[in-house]
Structure 1
Amino acid sequence: MLQRLFLVLLFFVSQQVLAQQASERQYRLSGTVKGAWGERLEGAFLVFSNGKTVLSDKQGKFMVSLPAGTHEVTCQYIGMAPFRESVTLNADKEVEFTLINRNFDLKVVEVTARQVTDQNSTHMGSTFIDQKLMTRMPKLLGEADVLRTVTSLPGVVSAGEGTSGFFVRGGSADQNLVLMDDAPLFNANHLFGFFSVYNPDILKSFVLHRSGISARYGSRISSILDVSLRDGNPDKMQYEIGASPITGKFSMDGPLSEKVTMLAAVRGAYPNYIMKLFPSRNIQNSSGHFYDGNLKLRYKPNENNSLSFSGYYSNDGFKFPNDTTYQWSNTLGSLKWSHLFSNNFTGDVTLIKSIYKNKVEGLSTGEEFELNSGVDLTQAKISFGYFGMAGHQIDFGGESSLYVIDPGDLVPSGTSSLNSRTLQQEKGYEQIVYINDEITLNEKLSLSVGLRFSHFSKLGPATTYVYAEGEPRSEQAIIDTLYFGSGNIVKSYQGLEPRASVKYSLTPSSSIKIGYSRTRQYIQLISNTAAITPVDVWKLSNQHIEPQIADQLSIGYFKADPESMYEYNWEVYYKKLYNQVDYKDGATLLLNPSLESDLLFGDGYAYGSEWMIKKNLGRLRGWVSLTYSRSMRQIKGATEAETINDGDPYPSNYDKPVNLNIFTDYHLWPNWKFSANFNYTTGRPVTLADSWYWYQGQIYANYSGRNQERMPDYHRLDVSLNREPIKKGKVEYSGGISIYNLYGRKNAYSMLYQHHYGEPPSAYKLSIIGAPIPSVNVNVKF
């Protein structure tokens, strides 16, 4: 249905364009934006004197159609000096712009790579986020955070107070592919979500793709968060120290030789004394810590080759007052070789390793145990970019992934009466090939057409159960057991993932865009919590769990004034979801060998309208974003036990219809800026008991339909005062003061029940942060 509708819209737009003829001769200006070391810069912002703007792509390439004559072009990239040049066109032309690192000893015009929506490209639903602006946003406990910044964008809502998990356009947290230098992360949180794994001091760029996703991306059905770390400074060694109320960090980067640069950073947090200030007794009596480290090396032997390595390790520990401790760690590594075959043909080969481990320890007398689980991903990618055909930018390549999942290993200890249990390891292969072409047909019409093919195989050794037909799945309904040897194929899935988008320019500064995409996901998180936690279970698709599929259709209007001072975006979307996972009442998710018997499967849909207006220049900058959206699920099984809400659609756990975000950044006086961020969202759906009854001396709850009630609406105001970097001699200082939750709103994180003897249990809300949280941060660079 969505494919047919998209084709009708595409045909209509094409006919409108073909009916018009260009009023003057246009020529194609294409080129590459490079850094001082020859690295290709993604997200460089180019402004032309006629008001057109364009962003460079992953390969640093750009292309724009301009009338004959001389045009002034300004190229901007964060951390580098602005580049200005005149270009004369009387034929198609190719250029190369090289930017140099900004000399901080000179007083230069501040240039930042703003959050820019390129209305002249086919991209939609993608947001480039300014790292410098992120560091000025009000902070929780003094630390700027990528994931918290992402939740201020249209179509994105937070998983809850104090968490850095996020939901995009009606999808769950595990439906977001979160990357660090191309390596996927299976848990991007520190301290259960108070911080993310990204060190803000070493970021290069980060992009969120919500729709119009290129065929080069996949493996998740909601969004792609692509985060890149900067390379080491090729000119000189520099050092940076930062401190906030609970974190300390140190980074260094610079040249190791003429051809090698290095970036290294470490960070740690010990928040125990701060946790004593929270109103929740559970938090007051808890303890925790985390530390992480990054290492990035880049070797450039010549102009046509470069080799880079990016490594990351993190470790978290948390102890709740009930004598249970949680530990989790991430180990990432990516090795990338980039080769320039010619100025119009590039290639990359990337090897990736991502290991995520959990450990839960029970310390209560008689219940001592250790529970271990984790995910191990090995991945190889090859990608090419070809720019030699007029009006085309072609990306193609493939990747192969091996997933190894340890779902759980329970080891009793001490005086424990528990029995040991080890669930069978899971293995699966995913292979992908793709091609994507950015096509410029004329001044007004351009297309992006892509096709991705994915194939997944669940491998043995494996044990699977056969359930009696016509009965609800349960342990009692198992009638046979199938065994698969090592390397044998248990189940395979495959399918095409078409992607397409079209841009029609109404004027040089405004356009309409239409996009369609199909995405597939073969790994899912089995969790009944809002955010990703250490006790969640990752599960591969198998005979009983089919891959998740999403079809999304988006239509948007994009406008920017000639000086890019103001931008306006309006986008509407509809998303159809297949093979969505939900749970039976009272489901057992942990250490369950027949987990599929407690799972329910159905479809869903999500739709919404997103508005955003931004002011990029002047003393006052910022944006207002407003989203109205719905996210619904429908579980209608063969039996009543496998059906939710009588088979009628019901709100998903992430259905928050109204989401308003207002961010302002005001230049008070030289070197000082005031920022404020206000967020309002509809309360999250919950399932509550509407009555209680006694049976054989016990109180039982009678619940209303699934997710038919809502927690109170959420709203919060954060403010900060930031000291811009100032240099005294060879030392540069910056810092700020933030107040998170300025007016002390006690937002509900979850609903719980309290039992008083002789009375039915009463519901109450749990607030994680119910008071203003002030903090200060200081950074010194030398």
Structure 2
Amino acid sequence: MPRKSVAIILLLMAFTLDAWAQSAAPRQYKLTGTVKGLWGERLEGAFLVITPGKNGVFSDKQGRFSVLLEPGEYEIACQYIGMAPLRETVTLVGDKEIELTLTRANFKLKEVEITSRPVTDVNSTQMGSSFLDQKMLTRMPKLLGEADVLRSVSALPGVVNAGEGTSGFFVRGGSADQNLVLMDDAPVFNTNHLFGFYSVYNPDILKSYELHRSGISARYGGRISSILDVSLRDGNEEKMKYEIGLSPISGKFSVDGPLSDKLTFLAAFRGAYPGYIMKLFPNRNIKNSSGHFYDGNLKFKYKLNAKNTVSFSGYHSGDGFKFPNDTTYQWNNTLGTLKWSHLFNNNFSGIATLVKSHYTNKVEGIAIGEEFALNSGIDLNQLKLDFGYFGFDNHQLDFGAEASAYLIQPGELVPYGSSSLNPRQLESDKGYETSIYLNDDVTLTGRLSMSVGLRYSRFDKIGPTDTYVYAEGRPRSDVNIVDTLSYGTGEVVQTYSGLEPRASFKYSLTDNTSLKVGYSRTRQYIQLISNTAAITPVDVWKLSNKHIEPQIADQVALGYFYTGSESWYDFSWEIYYKKLYNQVDYKDGATLLLNPTLESDLLFGEGEAYGSEWMLKKNQGRLTGWVSLTYSRSFRTIAGKTEAETINGGKAYPSNYDKPINLNIFTDYHLWPKWKLTANFTYTTGRPVTAADSWYWYQGQIFANYSGRNQERMPDYHRLDVALNREIIKKGRAEYSGSFSIYNLYGRKNAYSMLYQHYYGEAPTAYKLAVIGTPIPSINLNVKF
């Protein structure tokens, strides 16, 4: 369906429902307010329940909330992690502005259970979004003793993991590089530690994270599949606190507290020593390998006055991994965010953010006669301005701008020792991305609301660079280059730009149920060049240029949402359709590393994805948890101008990320006081692979015959993890907590990849490679004081 037709239908639906509701609705008033901490800091993500009516609302990044209510007396219950619950009565006889101030929870009193934020929010226009906090994350079963953000994300609707031992994930038929992964607003280009067994997020200092799959606000841009927005907590403002954590292969330490009445800080460090554990894996390559990682976070928050706050969040990590005999891998992440928050008045606030993200990678060959170092990396500098305005009745405006500068080093080969290799260096890849946006959350009636937004983005590919011109009507290859265009430093090589409209509508059927519909267009000017399903250290990021157009996605989604009485149960059902343009695939036998004519090995086409997602969550009682079921399909169509630039005869074929069935069951059972038993079961359809269906001999050699791209599948994936969690025990000044968990309880040998084994005189036989084929027990202990 054309985008204009979709937009017209959505608008007609909104106005028709609005006119009907307005004619029958009684007079309503606007209740707005701000949620603050005891020291005046504005609290994002506070959950408020307003009764009667059970209206639920969340505070935004400025701590603001707004809701339309009929005249009368209401009780507001406000919750925020780490804060004592607050109840306040408000009498509404006209538009009213209130301020809610929360205090720290007093754990010396009788224990108070602060419930987690519901997964299903029936009262907002937001859809395709999932929220988890640090408390829930730490209860989930752990691999090697460490709770992990990215592993838990794959338990949510519409998300599948990239494979055993990887931290990449696929969302609604998109590739791993189509997800924007943030740490305190800084993009992360490689989220792996130890090839995915750990991620870059230290769970001890995590505040919360939210995954946006659809209904994405115009505030976000740069990726076409999803946004994973991860926030780290600030240092506490009361006293210095210390935390030590130990697991079988890692140790961590954190400290946070006030340096003055206006300045707080947080520092955390992790290190891993997995050598002896790797000896237990069945795979010979892993058994004889070695690896390590370390990372550290540093965060400051300084309150200048009641209207100005400055904060800094920094991160650095280093990884090393060595395969037997021949290759070592090293990579580093350095992130920095400097943020200034300013309150112009109660209705107008703004945030200015400077971002730095620097990723470097080094692959080193150590075999005799083949010694080399292969260096690559990416550097991003970014400035973001975000504003929020609440002065209009029934409107909440968010607007701002963003400017980014990319510098990519795609590869530099440096031979040394007795190596016979020749040095080689590819030219750097440079570009600028700029954007502006406006988003308006509009409350039309008590039952009908909408969020409409528009983002305009522009990308400029910048020199110095050489661009090859290929013969018209012939396949791109180095033998078909007819000219070379040279561009000087700062000269614009290619410009792309376009609008990214976003719209979502919510209609409340009752106080507990709602229907939502949304449309979004997203653009992406950077892509990961990789012919593997999972992200690896040797992959290369590439900017759009004359030959590589930006990726574009249009998505339409429809959902039904329900929250039971007293929020005991949540249920959501969403269906979606996504059309993708300028998708990247590869020629057979493509050369991706150190290829000066990389575009000649790339193929471009369209994609489509569709699916249905169900989630049922139980929030209260002795047994809590959720069941998530997704049915989805993802296809690509590559129909080039020549046969060499066409895949599967120009017909649609399953993408690398096509896993039709994805089932996740998570349970959290309160065995007895302070003890909880959790379990997580995962089942997914095996991902597509290109496999040989026959073999033939030619001049004494065996050659494979392939029937088509991605026409076979790996075996289905399933796994059960369990954990026994001991919640906090307080003895003197110290607080103890711990868990015992078993990853892959019944020892499923899930296939990581399919390989072929050759025997002389016989056709090759296929076999599957399992990275983790055994139960992995682990124990971890955390001490706070």
TM-score (norm 2): 0.99
Secondary structure class of the residue paired with 2:82:
coil
The alpha carbon displacement at 1:13 in A equals: 4.5
The alpha carbon displacement at 1:164 in A equals: 1.6
CA–CA distance in structure 2, aligned partners of residues 770 and 603 of structure 1? 37
Taking the TM superposition and a 5 Å limit, the aligned residue runs for 1:110-129 are 110-129=113-132
Secondary structure class of the residue paired with 1:293:
strand
Secondary structure class of the residue paired with 2:210:
strand
CA–CA distance in structure 1, aligned partners of residues 312 and 482 of structure 2? 51
Residue type at the aligned position of 2:70: P
* 8 A contact 2:18–2:444 mirrored in 1: no
1:755 aligns with 2:749: no
Mean CA deviation greater in 358-367 or 4-13: 4-13
The alpha carbon displacement at 1:270 in A equals: 1.0
Residue type at the aligned position of 2:522: T
Correspondence for 1:34: 36
Correspondence for 1:46: 48
Secondary structure class of the residue paired with 2:737:
strand
The alpha carbon displacement at 1:342 in A equals: 0.3
CA–CA distance in structure 1, aligned partners of residues 552 and 710 of structure 2? 23
CA–CA distance in structure 2, aligned partners of residues 217 and 675 of structure 1? 34
1:481-524 CA distance string (max 9 Å, x none):
11100000000000000011111110111110011110000000
Residue type at the aligned position of 2:649: D
**2:689 maps to which of 680, 686, 690:** 686
CA–CA distance in structure 2, aligned partners of residues 151 and 35 of structure 1? 33
Residue type at the aligned position of 2:41: E
CA–CA distance in structure 1, aligned partners of residues 673 and 168 of structure 2? 36
Correspondence for 1:136: 139
Secondary structure class of the residue paired with 2:761:
coil
Secondary structure class of the residue paired with 2:509:
strand
CA–CA distance in structure 2, aligned partners of residues 265 and 16 of structure 1? 51
Correspondence for 2:387: 384
Correspondence for 1:15: 16
The alpha carbon displacement at 1:25 in A equals: 3.1
Residue type at the aligned position of 1:497: E
CA–CA distance in structure 2, aligned partners of residues 659 and 760 of structure 1? 35
Mean CA deviation greater in 38-47 or 117-126: 38-47
The alpha carbon displacement at 1:180 in A equals: 0.5
1:304 aligns with 2:307: yes
Secondary structure class of the residue paired with 1:19:
helix
* 8 A contact 2:659–2:685 mirrored in 1: yes
**2:186 maps to which of 175, 183, 192:** 183
Correspondence for 2:448: 445
1:331 aligns with 2:331: no
Residue type at the aligned position of 1:707: N
* 8 A contact 2:614–2:628 mirrored in 1: yes
1:630 aligns with 2:633: yes
The alpha carbon displacement at 1:108 in A equals: 3.0
**1:242 maps to which of 235, 242, 245:** 245
CA–CA distance in structure 2, aligned partners of residues 180 and 742 of structure 1? 32
Correspondence for 1:101: 104
1:123-160 CA distance string (max 9 Å, x none):
00111112101100000001000001110000000000
* 8 A contact 1:45–1:113 mirrored in 2: no
* 8 A contact 1:2–1:553 mirrored in 2: no
CA–CA distance in structure 2, aligned partners of residues 108 and 211 of structure 1? 38
Mean CA deviation greater in 325-334 or 107-116: 107-116
CA–CA distance in structure 1, aligned partners of residues 20 and 536 of structure 2? 56
Correspondence for 2:82: 79
Correspondence for 1:600: 603
CA–CA distance in structure 2, aligned partners of residues 203 and 374 of structure 1? 27
CA–CA distance in structure 2, aligned partners of residues 725 and 6 of structure 1? 51
Correspondence for 2:270: 267
Total equivalences in the alignment? 782
CA–CA distance in structure 2, aligned partners of residues 681 and 555 of structure 1? 24
1:295 aligns with 2:298: yes
Residue type at the aligned position of 2:688: P
1:500 aligns with 2:503: yes
**What are structure 1's unaligned runs of at least 5 residues?**
none
The alpha carbon displacement at 1:109 in A equals: 1.1
Correspondence for 1:547: 550
Taking the TM superposition and a 5 Å limit, the aligned residue runs for 1:279-678 are 279-678=282-681
The alpha carbon displacement at 1:350 in A equals: 0.6
1:171 aligns with 2:170: no
* 8 A contact 1:112–1:132 mirrored in 2: no
Residue type at the aligned position of 2:49: V
- Distance 1:59-1:18 versus aligned 2 partners, 3 A rule: same
The alpha carbon displacement at 1:459 in A equals: 0.3
CA–CA distance in structure 1, aligned partners of residues 194 and 43 of structure 2? 33
The alpha carbon displacement at 1:562 in A equals: 3.2
**What are structure 2's unaligned runs of at least 5 residues?**
none
CA–CA distance in structure 1, aligned partners of residues 512 and 61 of structure 2? 23
Identity of aligned residues (%): 73
RMSD, matched Cα: 1.0
Residue type at the aligned position of 1:4: S
Mean CA deviation greater in 26-35 or 309-318: 26-35
CA–CA distance in structure 1, aligned partners of residues 108 and 240 of structure 2? 15
* 8 A contact 2:632–2:660 mirrored in 1: yes
Secondary structure class of the residue paired with 1:476:
helix
**1:147 maps to which of 135, 147, 150:** 150
The alpha carbon displacement at 1:33 in A equals: 1.3
